[in-house]
A and B are shown apart, each in its own frame.
Chain A
């Protein structure tokens, strides 16, 4: 289809040659991925308010549009028309750069996330490493925001945030190592392919503790409750975001929610078979569900994890900062290191059906 499009354009615009076409196609693909992503993120905020509302026996947003369905758009337009305040003492360039620096990695990660069997922007051989690497760039945005604001609470928030994020990044890294060991590849597509063959073959069974650790770390990495000390309102008034308003704040907000969606996708890809149907290999159900496109399975599984975010937020009280750090360094780190050895031993002894 793309080739036809290229040929069509080439007929009328002769200088539109191969190289430019490739870039243009990627651009179109990119926009086609990012726009739904942003809409998904917008409705994630709606879902959050609605779900938590029902969990607390409230109704949640219900004024804008039918059952409040247009609420996200109202929010976006409100933020657009708000003034962007530049505090007098702030370093303006860094102050503006920080939200963009937080937002760009959140978008850039999606270039390698495979959404279906042949449904991805690019198939990097090192896509998992790329996700880990570029995911950590977002921390710069937060640190920079805290520093550039030149205000007390943002600085405290940035410090907390940075050390929390880097601590849990180690844990996520170790968990990724176990997944890589199981799949013998750092390519997300291959990691998913190696989980084919029904729900029994997904990595959540052999790597069950790692799956739990990963999900809890994902909560911390995305600053979600119960690990949201970074912006804990009662302690530091919203952390790094204190001085931000209007679209600058919206960029932070969007980056955070896109990262949430990314973490959910990563959990599905690494532990829950990605786009694979859970009924592969089951005699009747396999044929019965054959009509479902693979991306639907991925989105369905992701929805569960996205719901889990909200469920956890509505259920658990916030952790104290020292407790979070203790959980990371004294519980998860030894556990993941031990599990690496367990997986290595299982591989060497050919124990279990998965290795």
Chain B
């Protein structure tokens, strides 16, 4: 059982090895001639006016919060989905109630404009 997970660790290490290796190859083979203009941050041809860590739209937070909600929902759904054919109507009704409450929340956020990007 658990030995099935060994390849995953090996693959993660392989990925790290490939990633680090390729970066190293590029670092060793490539030239290194830093100069002030080249190493400055990218702008449209003039020095930056303001700090690049700027304010951004609060909607990104909103998406993040909604994502957590719905992703958890998916996490609750998957175990049910595996056995739902065996659970019969009890499982169906139980999950329908769960889904219904979430749909109520979904309608709420929709009507409140949480999903609008003008």
A residues sitting closer than 8 Å to B (CB atoms) are 22-23, 26-27, 29-31, 34, 79-90, 96, 99-100, 103-108, 110-112, 121-125, 129-130, 149-153, 155-156, 159, 162-163, 166-167, 169-170, 173-174, 176-178, 180-181, 184-186, 237, 242-243, 246-248, 250-251, 321-322, 325-326, 329-330, 333-334, 337, 340-341, 344-345, 347-348, 355
Total A-B contacts with CB atoms under 8 angstroms apart: 219
Verify B74–A322 contact, CB threshold 8 A: no
Verify B95–A344 contact, CB threshold 8 A: yes
Which interface residue of B30, B32, B43, B86 has the most chain A CB atoms within 10 A?
B30
* Cβ-closest chain B residue relative to A106: B15
Per DSSP, chain B at the interface is helix
Known: A333-B106, A355-B85. A111 touches B11 (CB 8 A): yes
In the bound complex, residues from chain B placing their C-beta under 8 Å from that of A334 are: 106
Verify A150–B67 contact, CB threshold 8 A: no
Partner of B71 from A85, A153, A173, A178 at Cβ < 8 Å: A173
B residues sitting closer than 8 Å to A (CB atoms) are 3-8, 10-12, 14-16, 18-20, 22-23, 25-27, 29-34, 36, 38-43, 48, 52-54, 56, 59-60, 63-64, 66-67, 70-71, 74, 77-78, 81-86, 88-89, 92, 95-96, 99, 103, 106, 110, 115-118
A-B pairs, 4 with minimum CB distance:
A247-B26, A107-B15, A322-B117, A173-B74
Partner of A150 from B12, B20, B25, B41 at Cβ < 8 Å: B41
In the bound complex, residues from chain A placing their C-beta under 8 Å from that of B115 are: 325-326, 329-330
In the bound complex, residues from chain A placing their C-beta under 8 Å from that of B11 are: 30, 107-108, 110-111, 121
Verify B7–A26 contact, CB threshold 8 A: yes
In the bound complex, residues from chain B placing their C-beta under 8 Å from that of A325 are: 63, 115, 117
Verify B41–A344 contact, CB threshold 8 A: no
In the bound complex, residues from chain B placing their C-beta under 8 Å from that of A123 are: 4
